[in-house]
Amino acid sequence: CLWCYTNNTCIDYPVRSILPPSSLCSLSNARWGVCWINFEALIIAIAVVAGLILVSVAVCCCYCCYCRRRSRSRPDEEEERLARKREERRLQSLQRKHERKLKHDEIRKKYGLLQDSDNPYSRFENE
């Protein structure tokens, strides 16, 4: 139903056109469906909502592209940093292992458990 305030009549909506022609009723005086929905306000509201949706989609796409580009550069730096830390930990572990081995060798030498060619004494085993 198309309600026209100029002549207070309810006309069947012209479905062939999106907006009612001005010959039937001017756009400012036309109401859609019920008497309180103004065509001008409806068109403005739909345009604003569509514009907001388009802007939000564009912002989301730009943000996603920016984040993807940013995340591509980050893993390289992050990966290098993690590799350096991993190598440092490996070297520290090897150093600690070597120190433990030296300490254990000293203890073995002290109690004669080390099979060393420099030591003239060796463990005597009874058979």
Query: What percent of the chain is modeled with pLDDT above 90?
Result: 30
Q: Say yes or no to pLDDT of 69 above 90.
A: no
- For the chain, what are the domain ranges? 2-71
How far does CA 56 lie from the centroid of its chain?
17
Segment 30-65, tens digit of pLDDT: 777 667 778 788 888 999 999 999 999 999 888 888
Residues 6+ apart with CB under 8 A from 31: 2, 3, 4, 5, 37, 38, 39
Between these two residues, 19 and 124, which has the higher pLDDT value? 19
pLDDT at 123 over 60: no
Closest CA to 25 of 7, 40, 38: 7
Cβ partners under 8 Å of residue 6, min gap 6: 25, 26, 29
pLDDT at 93: 96
Taking each continuous run of H as one helix and of E as one strand, the counts in the chain are 1, 3
